[in-house]
Amino acid sequence: MIRIPKSIYHEMVKHAKKEFPQECCGILGGKGDTVEKVFDLENAERSPIRYSISPQEQMRVYEEMERGAMEMVAIYHSHPQTIPFPSETDVKFAFTPEVASIIISLKEEEPMVKAFRIKKEAIYLEEVEILP
């Protein structure tokens, strides 16, 4: 289970809508399964079907998380035109199975947010709890 404060949840959805029709991406830092901070990042691909994060941005976020005694809880990105399920590309580039992958779908009028653990043997749905 991943626990996300409501304010951070709304910030992720806002980021996805702002970047539409391109995919957005970011990192969620925190402790254990609870998110404490969102890092909205730039999609270096500037693409509606894939994303990447520059190594410089990744290092900046890792250093900030380390200073705050946080770890990476999840990586998030949007699917502007498709359902919230990992694509073939998402699976191919999922190098950290211990970190959840959160997908924000903007396919429907109301955004859908789902979390997954992408492992070699399967894709597992992860429960998301929105904290007040």
Residue 6: per-residue pLDDT: 98
The domain locations on the chain are 2-131
Q: 3-state SS string over 9-73?
A: HHHHHHHHHHHCCCCCEEEEEEECCEEEEEEEECCCCCCCCCCCCCHHHHHHHHHHHHHCCCEEE
In one letter, which amino acid is 26? G
Q: Note if the pTM is more than 0.75.
A: yes
Residue 108: per-residue pLDDT: 96
Residue 95: per-residue pLDDT: 85
Residue 16, pLDDT > 90, answer yes
Considering the four listed CATH numbers 3.30.1330.40, 2.40.50.140, 3.40.140.10, 1.10.3720.10, the one that applies to the domain covering 2-131 is 3.40.140.10
Q: Express each pLDDT in 56-100 by its tens digit.
A: 999 999 999 999 999 999 999 999 999 999 999 999 999 888 899
